[in-house]
Amino acid sequence: MAFQQTCGLPVCKATICFLLTLFVLGEGHFKGCRKFTGVQDTRHEDVFKEQWFTQKLDHFDGADSRVWKQRYFVNDAFYKPGGPVFLMIGGEGPANPAWMESGTWLTYAEKLGALCLMLEHRFYGNSHPTVDLSTDSLRFLSSRQALADLAHFRTEIGEAKGLSNRKWVAFGGSYPGSLAAWFRLKYPHLVHASVATSAPVHATVNFPEYLEVVWRSLASENAECPLLVKKASDTLVERLKDPKTYDNITKDFQLCSKLQIQTEMDSAYFLETLAGNFMDVVQYNEDNRGFEGLMGTNITIQVLCGVMADTSFGDPYARYAAVTRLMMETFSINCLDASFSSNLKAMTNTSWDGPAASGGRQWVYQTCTEFGFYQSTDSPNQPFAGFPLPYHVKQCMDYFNVSAEQLAEAIVQTNEYYGGYDIRSSRIVFPNGSIDPWHALGITQDITAYLPAVFIKGTAHCANMYPARPQDLPQLTLARDHVFLLLQQWLKQ
């Protein structure tokens, strides 16, 4: 495992999705999302010891004096007296100390003499503000509380280490990218500049554009690829209407137990699980996370479209099943648990030892109370079928007793608070990749000269954050260089 959390909105909630995202920045993305894993990379913790900061439980209630311990990491190898402070913002999964050893931000730090800090997001990883993950406890999980955590951390660490007058730069990818932008927006006196990579700054209940980008990304490899995926998905939807096909479907997709479709939630969850293979690979296509498959074969859009075009597997439906088996074999999964009832049991477990406690339950809570981001099949311009918006919205009620009306109002409030696409600030750069479906909710054109976008053709989610490598596209290399030049200029201001 190379990287985890700090960049990577969740895409699905299925077992394969979890395994795929073992290689993501720890940025676990789940429902209406994509990302997450309960596994933590500990190989770098001997070099970069975890440290702890006393944080307030509720920053917005002066009468509440409760505190908790928040985890953070430090790399001072490049720091030169008077240099800036770089703050990597953690997101919806464990903060991965691998980021203290590798990544583009460290290349910038070495050139600029920066001190590097990484703060884990409340309620993720080992940063546990409450005794459990009950809905009552999760009241204290929000982007606003997380930003206040960042502000308090910056203030206290600044004073304790004599860094108050240094110029602080926030970094983040995906949801943490949004936090990086919002940190500069809401606390401009504390953060001098921000690099907001692959940041979905616009909240929305329904996000069918995600799968529209998946269609276009598949088509960029082979125009027939998304058509074959659609044909396979439509065939599967038809077969799910006949219980006599369930034994064969169970065998075809190597399910852990015989397929049972008793409600629309059952079929939607199963169909979303299988679509997740394509969604994950598109989102992280050809990045540098160590996403290696069988015999060193990189699991990319090209690989999946190659399977979908291979007639030796049979018709498109059979090729679709072959993709699932390939992903399972690649990640040593013996069988696929695509049962919504199993998922419901896991997601409603409120213990810190529960199966979804490393990010799944928490992130879905945030989607239900702040962001939405539900990747529905409600658009005709995408290749999948069977998991429409009501399926996603109902989970908010099932997991947290959040109604559709409450969800809709929460999204309105989020955009009112942060401004959505209409950000009014300065010294924030927004890198995005054209292959990444999340760019549809991000800033892809300059807002002003001091709010520039860096739109990188042919790259996926958070690509500019990962370490450079010889096979990087020229435009990716140029994008990294452009961000560095902006930082140079802004740190002189």
Domain containing 286 — which CATH number? 1.20.120.980
- Comparing CA positions, the residue from 254, 269, 262, 263 lying closest to residue 347 is 269
The tokens for 269 are: 């969850």
Please check whether residues 184 and 231 belong to one and the same domain. Answer: no
Q: Could you list the residue range(s) of the whole structural domain that residue 487 is in? A: 51-204+419-491
Domain-ending residue, one of 410, 443, 460: 410
Please check whether residues 363 and 217 belong to one and the same domain. Answer: yes
Please check whether residues 257 and 163 belong to one and the same domain. Answer: no
In a domain, 110, yes or no: yes
Please check whether residues 220 and 362 belong to one and the same domain. Answer: yes
Please check whether residues 117 and 166 belong to one and the same domain. Answer: yes
* HEC letters along the chain: CCCCCCECCCCCCCHHHHHHHHHCCCCCCCCCCCCCCCCCCCCCCCCCCCEEEEEECCCCCCCCCCEEEEEEEEECCCCCCCCCEEEEECCCCCCCHHHHCCCHHHHHHHHHCCEEEEECCCCCCCCCCCCCCCCCHHHHCCHHHHHHHHHHHHHHHHHHCCCCCCCEEEEEECHHHHHHHHHHHHCCCCCCEEEEECCCCCCEEECCHHHHHHHHHHHHHCCCHHHHHHHHHHHHHHHCCCHHHHHHHHHHCCECCCCCCCCHHHHHHHHHHHHHHHHHHHHCCCCCCCCECHHHCECCHHHHHHHHCCHHHCCHHHHHHHHHHHHHHHCCCCCECCCHHHHHHHHCCCCCCCCCCCCHHHHHHHHHHHHEEECCCCCCCCCCCCCCHHHHHHHHHHHHCCCHHHHHHHHHHHHHHHCCCCCCCCCEEEEEECCCHHHHHCCCCCCECCECEEEECCCCCCHHHCCCCCCCCHHHHHHHHHHHHHHHHHHCC
In a domain, 190, yes or no: yes
Domain-ending residue, one of 375, 391, 410: 410
Please check whether residues 432 and 404 belong to one and the same domain. Answer: no
pLDDT at 12: 44
Residue 101 buriedness (CB in 10 A; 0-12 / 13-18 / 19+): middle
- Comparing CA positions, the residue from 204, 233, 205, 229 lying closest to residue 217 is 229
Beta bridge pairs of residue 429: 195
Task: Report the number of distinct structural domains present in the chain.
Answer: 2
> Measured between alpha carbons, how far is 435 from 219 in angstroms, rounded to an integer?
11
Please check whether residues 157 and 178 belong to one and the same domain. Answer: yes
> Measured between alpha carbons, how far is 14 from 4 in angstroms, rounded to an integer?
18
Please check whether residues 96 and 217 belong to one and the same domain. Answer: no
In a domain, 29, yes or no: no
In a domain, 10, yes or no: no
pLDDT at 330: 87
In a domain, 307, yes or no: yes
- Comparing CA positions, the residue from 396, 291, 304, 293 lying closest to residue 37 is 291
The pTM for the full model equals: 0.92
Contact (CB, 8 A) for 106 and 83: no
Q: What's the average pLDDT block by block, 10 residues per block, for the chain (493 residues)?
A: 49 36 33 35 64 98 97 98 97 94 96 98 98 98 98 98 97 98 98 98 98 97 97 98 97 95 95 96 74 50 96 98 94 92 96 95 98 98 98 98 98 98 98 96 98 97 94 97 98 97
Please check whether residues 315 and 168 belong to one and the same domain. Answer: no
The tokens for 188 are: 């401009």
In a domain, 131, yes or no: yes
Please check whether residues 226 and 313 belong to one and the same domain. Answer: yes
Please check whether residues 199 and 73 belong to one and the same domain. Answer: yes
Show which residues are catalytic. Answer: 174, 436, 461
Please check whether residues 259 and 381 belong to one and the same domain. Answer: yes
Domain-ending residue, one of 356, 377, 410: 410
> Measured between alpha carbons, how far is 437 from 384 in angstroms, rounded to an integer?
15
CATH classification at residue 477: 3.40.50.1820
Beta bridge pairs of residue 75: 116
pLDDT at 48: 85
Contact (CB, 8 A) for 452 and 442: no
Half-sphere exposure of 259 (CA within 13 A, CB side): 28
Pairing of strands 115-119, 67-75: antiparallel
In a domain, 199, yes or no: yes
In a domain, 12, yes or no: no
In one letter, which amino acid is 290?
A: G
